[in-house]
Structure 1
Amino acid sequence: MPKKSLYSKKSSLAEADVPELDKDWFAGASVYQNGVLVKRGRPPLKVTKQAVKLRLDRDVIAGFKLDGPGWQTRINQALREWLLAHPATSERAGQPSAEDSQ
């Protein structure tokens, strides 16, 4: 049995279906103001989050995922509420408070 190629020589698109990339298209591809490229996308946040690797019990993660998207945000909020309910001790002195990161 011959090996099946991952790439097909036949295209499902006709050449007439592919728009021509003319000067107008390229002119709109990048926006410049005063000779400086305007960056698109999400603006940088004043307060950024720190990526961490955290191992949690499967049932804890499953419980947060039950409510759908946003489960990591809900875990963050639960941890923040715990910090507010348990004021800083001398061991955590010098660390930013929960209010500082909001």
Structure 2
Amino acid sequence: MTISAKRLKEIESIPDEDIDTTDIPELNEHFWEKAKLIEPITKQAISLRIDSDILQWFKSQGKGYQSLINSVLRSYFEHQSKIRNDG
């Protein structure tokens, strides 16, 4: 999501007391019982050779196709890791 500099400046100028937060639920004890910390993962730029039809399909999904490729690889990685750890 992108936001223009003008709109960002408008948002930043809104006083805290004018921001309606009534639709945001309170974070009660139940929320914190289930909450878990997710550490950000550092990404690394690489050169990767993949089939052109695969690349074109991911690109056709629109903006963020590289993140989508990463998500698919992460899903596969987590699945395989679970199989190896459970089996």
More helix per residue = 2
Give the structure with higher Rg (CA): 1
TMscore range, shorter length: 0.3 to 0.5
TM-score, L = length of structure 1: 0.39
Q: Highest relative contact order (Cα 8 Å, sep 6+), 1 or 2?
A: 1
